[in-house]
Structure 1
Amino acid sequence: MSKVTRIALVGASGLIGSALIRLAVGRSDIRIIAIARSEIPLPPGARMEVLVADPANWADAIAAANADVLVSALGTTWKKVGKDEEAFRAVDQHLVLACARAAKAAGIRQVITISSVGADSSSKNFYLRVKGEVEQALGRLGVTRLDVIRPGLLRGSRRELRPAERIGMILSPLMDLLMHGKYRKYRSVRDDVVARAIVGLTKEKAAGRFVFEHDAILRAARKAGD
């Protein structure tokens, strides 16, 4: 019998976290342990654990998950934080790093984090700068394997679809056709493809830090199996 990979998931209620939970339904090779602030809606047939705790206590929950992999799909929006930079950093930077540190302390070998195409600590764009800073800080933690997924526009069914994202989703099929060469990494990608890429990456054994942009995300997704 093949080993079941236990995945501790933070950001379970978001687009990618929800897609990963749906993907896990009916699979015998992965087991999701979601760590959340409150109860989350689960799809029919889901067999998983949900550890509900205040974020201040998520380190204990991560340790209790007894996981092989931490998947960090955390993220907030300008609208939710009222365009407050520190409130944005509290989730997208400080909470992400706190969870990764807790994973390392708990002996979790692999951390998979959702970043963004264009992430750069020297970017003038605040969002991309924070993502770049987080990637650098994660790289310094010393986890055995760090996988950084940098998707372009994420397509999927959000509970709250932002106007710019709605327009982007409508235009993305046409825009994707125009993105070639070095611009391919900016192509949009579906939430279920990113979820499959996450599962594919849990099967990798090599140690180190790895970055996955559009084409590499598609290749990782093909390794997920059924």
Structure 2
Amino acid sequence: MSKNIVPCVVGSTGLVGSHIINNLSTIYPKVCSITRKKVNYSSSVVKNTVIDFDDIKNEDIFSADNHLYIALGTTRKKAGSDQNFIKVDYNYCIDLAKNAFESGVKRISIISSVGSNPNSNLLYPRTKGLIERDLKKIPFEHVSIMKPGLILGNRQESRFIEKVSKYFFSLLNPFLIGSLHKYKSIHAENISKAMIYQVSMGDNGFVLLEYNEIMESSKK
């Protein structure tokens, strides 16, 4: 793991992104957090870069010594419309990836979802599937895509339905075996550790990780 690398995290104020930032700041002497608004971090290692997400193509963000972690995501309710949801969960992510590649970034990891499918009639799995499909077209040295089920952890925003879902899945998890194993709920900390391992140490190529693979990578 080269200490010359400066990892960049997009979505660092979110559930998984905050774990990524915290873990990276114990490994690297400098970490970049890319945000829409200024964010103050307790660690002096983390440097904040504010950009215009609606004009990513023209932003000078990355350099060849960066690794990129994308943990962006919203909900249809919070976005307010299908169009706004797609803008955050698809357009921003793809534009960031393209900007990074053109700047010389070679290794990237992003969070998608179990059940993603570009041909789905449902907004969420279709959008995630389209991200996976189109990221594969960008010839990075390494792309790892996390495909978790329900993500566990303490969110800044309390979502009643998610609280109920977490309780339900905590009861259901032991019964999700065989082909259903990939739907198990998983903690944000495990996802963050898996992303860091894959970007820093994982094999070259395009890698999809579901529950088993995420847990395995998080323990390395």
Shift of 1:161: 2.5
Structure 2 letter corresponding to 1:48: V
2:124 equivalent to 1:140: no
User: Where does residue 162 of structure 1 map in the other structure?
Assistant: 159
Structure 1 letter corresponding to 2:68: L
RMSD value, Cα: 1.8
C-alpha spacing 1:30/1:122, structure 2 compared with 1 (3 Å):
farther
Shift of 1:127: 0.3
Structure 1 letter corresponding to 2:121: K
User: Where does residue 94 of structure 2 map in the other structure?
Assistant: 97
Secondary structure of 2:6's match?
strand
2:148 pairs with one of 148, 151, 173? 151
- TM-superposition CA deviations, 1:31-66 (whole Å, max 9, x none): 420110112242x445211101221454534225x5
Q: In 2, Cα distance between the equivalents of 1:41 and 1:146?
A: 29
C-alpha spacing 1:30/1:199, structure 2 compared with 1 (3 Å):
farther
2:185 equivalent to 1:193: no
Secondary structure of 1:80's match?
helix
Q: In 1, Cα distance between the equivalents of 2:23 and 2:202?
A: 22
C-alpha spacing 1:199/1:97, structure 2 compared with 1 (3 Å):
same
C-alpha spacing 1:23/1:181, structure 2 compared with 1 (3 Å):
same
User: Where does residue 47 of structure 1 map in the other structure?
Assistant: 45
**Correspondence 1:6-17 to 2 at 5 A:** 6-17=6-17
Task: Note the residue ranges of structure 1 that are not aligned, 5 or more in a row.
Answer: none
C-alpha spacing 1:98/1:205, structure 2 compared with 1 (3 Å):
same
Secondary structure of 1:69's match?
strand
Q: Contact conserved, 2:116 with 2:128, CA < 8 A, in 1?
A: yes
C-alpha spacing 1:28/1:81, structure 2 compared with 1 (3 Å):
closer
Aligned residues: 218
1:81 pairs with one of 65, 79, 84? 79
Q: Contact conserved, 1:7 with 1:68, CA < 8 A, in 2?
A: yes
Shift of 1:171: 2.2
Runs of 4+ with deviation above 4 angstroms: none
Give the TM-score taking structure 2 as reference length. Answer: 0.92
Identity %: 26
Give the TM-score taking structure 1 as reference length. Answer: 0.89
Q: In 1, Cα distance between the equivalents of 2:93 and 2:166?
A: 27
Task: Note the residue ranges of structure 2 that are not aligned, 5 or more in a row.
Answer: none
C-alpha spacing 1:166/1:206, structure 2 compared with 1 (3 Å):
same
Q: Contact conserved, 2:148 with 2:185, CA < 8 A, in 1?
A: yes
User: Where does residue 36 of structure 1 map in the other structure?
Assistant: 35
User: Where does residue 123 of structure 1 map in the other structure?
Assistant: 120
Q: Contact conserved, 2:9 with 2:21, CA < 8 A, in 1?
A: no
Q: In 2, Cα distance between the equivalents of 1:168 and 1:41?
A: 32
- TM-superposition CA deviations, 1:115-164 (whole Å, max 9, x none): 00000111222100110011101111122211110011000111112222
